[in-house]
Amino acid sequence: MGNKSNNLLLGALEMLVLKALLTEDRHGWGISKRLKQISSGTFTLNVGSLYPALYRLEKKGFVESYAAVSEKGRDARFYRLLPKGKAQLEDQTANWREFSVAVEAVLSSQS
């Protein structure tokens, strides 16, 4: 990742990437732009984190990739979310929410 103070993203990166692919196929660069935009700049993905995450997701059967030409006319590798990846996204999302509720409960606890 790479928001100023670093590694809270751990484990959430793959979930965010999957989410970025939910509505349409995107290439790595496009995923990066998309997440940056939706998070209002909080997420500025490091290429050294993003692409390896994509390879892992493909290896696990959550996404598949294909070569195509980008909107800007460049060669790019697009990723498509597969059913297994969609299920994974749902799992991770539910899990993330449970987790963040628990963290917030701790952070806001008195005494």
Partner DNA sequence: CACTTATATTACGTTATTCGAAACATCTAA
Partner DNA sequence: TTAGATGTTTCGAATAACGTAATATAAGTG
Interface ranges with DNA (CB under 7 A): 1-2, 6-7, 9-14, 27-30, 33, 45-53, 56, 70-78
Q: Which of 16, 21, 50, 53 binds its own copies (CB under 8 A)?
A: 16
> Contact 69/76 with Cβ under 8 angstroms?
yes
Regarding 90 and contact with its own copies (CB under 8 A), the answer is no
Nearer to DNA, 63 or 76 (CB): 76
DSSP symbols for 23-40: SS-EEHHHHHHHHHHHTT
Cα dist. 66→6, 27, 95 in Å? 32, 9, 30
Q: How many other C-beta atoms lie within 10 A of the C-beta of residue 16?
A: 22
CB of 71 to DNA, least distance (A): 6
Regarding 67 and contact with its own copies (CB under 8 A), the answer is no
* 27 contact, one of its own copies, DNA, none, CB 5-8 Å limit per kind: DNA
- Tokens 């692409």, residue located: 51
Regarding 35 and contact with its own copies (CB under 8 A), the answer is yes
